Amino acid sequence: MDAFVAGGCSYNAMVYLDEFPRETETHRARDFRETVGSTGAGKTMNLGRLGLDVTFHAMLGDDRYGRIVRETFADEPATFLHDVDPNGTERHVNLMNAEGERISIFVVESTPAPDIDYERLERLVKTCDAFVVNPVDYTRPLLAAAERHDTPVWCDVHAYDGVDPHHDAFVDAADYLFLSEEGMDDPTEFMRERVDAGTELVVCTRGADGSTALTADGERIEVPAESFEMVDTNGAGDAYVSGFLYGHAQGEDTETCMRLGTLAGGLAVESPELAHAGLSAERLALEYEDRYGSYP
């Protein structure tokens, strides 16, 4: 299976604190680093290391941050394409506390409607097996392209609250929809509504409580979380989606895919990067056998 990932790339400053500041005074960071970030980058790194044929398109500035991103992906098992964003490379400052919670501050935002060659991107949508679209503005025109070519759409709306209009088109277009429970008190009704509207599968990740899936035929599947040593929670959700998609590409059932997503996400948590340095299909199979018994 080959996947086309569109959107979601930045160069981030990571500030690690014992706890988030509560007063306007000087604070000292426990650690600090700069790294490639965002949802498309994380999914691409995980999918490539798991052996899928993946192409990633992103918007980058003609600046030193964009050059670092390009150099990073030159070492990843993925095809990386980009267009130049006149706003510069998207940048975030992420404050992380000791519990792994994050405050993300966007300091440079990408151009919402760039002047780029959408025909080139539509050809990628047409020929891929899975279109992994991330909810950033410039990818919106590609949703119609996926419908025209009947390409399955995979979309992760993260901590979607169920009402934010920014996400509406992505939610409606998704055949395989992923979200985090962080945005809703109870996502159950939303998941049912999406399945009733024709979504093939809805998966909600619930952190330490595992994940829940609702299939097109109404089957509800629960998979508990697994224990991993927490180093950095950034990228865990993207790794989960990637592990799930990897299992789907192998023809595995939904529960097995959820387990693979759980393990890929757990490995990401054990890494300071968006994807564990040792991630591979073989490593994931070994983790599966260790946690669940024989791999299917």
For 135, half-sphere exposure in the C-beta direction (CA atoms, 13 angstrom radius) is: 20
Q: Is 83 helix (H, G, I), strand (E, B) or coil?
A: strand
Is 217 among the domain residues? Answer: yes
For residue 275, is it within any domain?
yes
- Cα-flanking dihedrals φ and ψ of residue 45, to 5°? -60, -45
What pLDDT shows up at residue 295?
Answer: 80
Query: Residue 171: what pLDDT?
Result: 97
Whole-number pLDDT of residue 131: 98
Does residue 245 lie within any of the structural domains?
yes
pTM assigned to the model: 0.94
Quote the tokens at residue 198: 């024709």
> Which tokens belong to 7?
């959107």
Task: Confirm whether 163 is domain-assigned.
Answer: yes
Q: Is 207 left (phi over 0), alpha (psi -120 to 50) or beta?
A: left
Q: Which pLDDT value is given to residue 234?
A: 81
Cα gap 24→148, rounded to integer Å: 52
Q: Answer yes or no: is 228 within a domain.
A: yes
Q: Estimate to the nearest angstrom the gap between the alpha carbon of 27 and the chain centroid.
A: 31
What is the structure's pLDDT at 54?
A: 98
pLDDT at 207: 86
Q: Which two tokens stand for residue 152?
A: 């399955």
Q: Looking at residue 99, what is its pLDDT?
A: 84
CATH number of domain containing 157 = 3.40.1190.20
Asked if 40 contacts 237 with a C-beta cutoff of 8 angstroms, the reply is: no
Q: List pLDDT tens digits, range 155-214.
A: 999 989 888 899 999 999 999 999 999 889 889 999 999 999 999 999 999 988 999 999
Strands 220-223 vs 211-215: parallel, antiparallel or unpaired? antiparallel
Per-residue pLDDT tens, the chain, 296 aa: give them. Answer: 899 999 999 999 999 999 998 888 888 899 899 999 999 999 999 999 999 999 999 999 999 999 999 999 999 999 999 999 999 999 999 998 988 888 999 999 999 999 999 999 999 999 999 999 999 999 999 999 999 999 999 999 998 988 889 999 999 999 999 999 988 988 999 999 999 999 999 999 998 899 999 999 999 999 999 989 888 888 899 999 999 999 999 999 999 999 999 999 999 999 888 899 999 999 999 999 999 988 87
If one counts the domains in the chain, the total is 1
Walk across the sheet containing 201-205 and list its strands: 79-84, 53-60, 2-6, 130-133, 153-156, 176-180, 201-205, 211-215, 220-223
Return the pLDDT at 233. 85
3 located within any domain: no
Whether 250 is covered by a domain: the verdict is yes
Residue 97: closest CA among 179, 161, 31: 31
Looking only at the bridges linking them, the beta strands covering 130-133 and 102-108 are unpaired
Instruction: Please tell me the distance from the alpha carbon of residue 261 to that of residue 239, in angstroms, as a whole number.
Output: 7
Structural domain for 136, as ranges? 41-64+113-292
* Closest-CA residue to 243 (of 82, 52, 15, 6): 52
Query: Does 118 reside within a domain?
Result: yes
